[in-house]
Amino acid sequence: MERSDAELIAAVLKGDAASFEPLVEKYSPRLFATARRYARRESEIEDIVQEIWLKAYHKLASFRGDAPFEHWLMRMAVRTCYDFLRGHQRNRESPFSDLTEPESDWLDRFVAQPETASEHAEAAKQLVARLLEQLSPPARLVITLLEIEDRSVKEIAKLTGWSVPLVKVRAFRARAEMRRILARLAKEKYL
Amino acid sequence: MNLEQLQTILLAAAKANPPGDRVPYAFGKRILARLKDQPALDLSALWARALWRAAAPCVALTLLLGVWSFVGDSSNSADAAMSSGEDFSQHFEQTLLAAVDESEDVW
């Protein structure tokens, strides 16, 4: 019979470390998907998820059980990803002159006929990844959570530990930052 | 170029292409191995470490109070001590043994 999260957590807290493995198996796919939003290299992604699990294990006693374990784990995941972004923000501002041919073609198509530029194209996916990499850590986090994952401001406040007004301010600044980067892209490519 | 529209399309592209949730082979086993490599969480050891850390400030505080009481005592004039007739230790002894003295009176 499959044991519930609460039973597994209770067993781990009693010293049965092996009971932690079913939790790792169950929630790792979600954590890998989250980490892949903030890091590109698989080695970095694996390091992030590993760190989340080690933190979760050591802080398991602080899990009160009044909310689902997944929520508690996701808060830890988002904060670890944010720490990763802050620790790797060197060389953020890279020039757009090194766009690949498909990216450049996709942009040309967008300029000529915006309605024909598909969001499903691989080039669009690469471009947005490039764009997000140039955002500051708080801007990237808030854009990812708010615009890409469609989370509410309240949810983001819970996940990040920021206050609701701070999330709103950071969202406003993040959108402005994104527009500035896009303006730079337009200037570098077409002027 | 319409930057607003470009931003909307690019964000839609990010939404339309969620990252994969593939987990590397035997990842769970590796996490467990990492956890076993780390020293076990020993509550008594943590408690002992906290007590040892607290010992140094306690010793320092004791020494400070000792020095303070010694300096305070010596700075008091001998006349003041004589006029009071008794020193602190006598007061302390009287207070401590007050109950015993009372019981002796009853008997």
Distance CA(A189)–CA(A184), nearest Å, equals 8
Contact A32 B22 (CB under 8 A): yes
The pLDDT, as a whole number, for residue B31 is 92
| C-alpha triplet A17, A21, A24: angle, nearest 5° | 125
Tell how far CA A98 is from the center of its chain: 24
Residue A102 shares a structural domain with residue A190 = yes
Domain that holds residue A10: 1-88
Residue A115 shares a structural domain with residue A82 = no
Contact B18 A183 (CB under 8 A): no
For chain A, first and last CA: distance in Å? 65
pLDDT confidence band for B3 (50 / 70 / 90): confident
Q: Which of A36, A66, A88 is the last residue of a domain?
A: A88
Based on the structure, what is the number of domains in chain A? 2
Residue A114 shares a structural domain with residue A182 = yes
B-chain residues within 8 Å CB-CB of A55?
none
CB A113 within 8 A of CB A127: no
Q: Residue A138 maps to which CATH number?
A: 1.10.10.10
User: Could you tell me how many CB contacts below 8 A there are between chain A and chain B?
Assistant: 103
Residue A100 shares a structural domain with residue A183 = yes
Residue A69 shares a structural domain with residue A149 = no
Does the structure's ipTM exceed the value 0.95? no
Contact B27 A46 (CB under 8 A): yes
Of the residues A182, A188, A190, A191, the best mutation for testing chain B's interface (the one with the most B CB atoms within 10 Å of its CB) is A182
Residue A108 shares a structural domain with residue A181 = yes
pLDDT tens over chain A, length 191 residues: 688 999 999 999 988 888 999 999 999 999 999 999 999 899 999 999 999 999 999 999 889 888 899 999 999 999 999 999 999 886 566 667 778 888 888 888 888 887 777 777 788 888 999 899 999 999 999 999 999 999 999 999 999 999 999 999 999 999 999 999 999 888 887 76
Residue A99 shares a structural domain with residue A84 = no
Mean pLDDT of chain B: 80
pLDDT confidence band for B79 (50 / 70 / 90): low
Distance CA(A145)–CA(A129), nearest Å, equals 15
| C-alpha triplet A143, A146, A147: angle, nearest 5° | 70
Lookup result for tokens 């006929």? A113
Whose CA is closest to A78, among A99, A57, A55? Answer: A55
CB A153 within 8 A of CB A146: yes
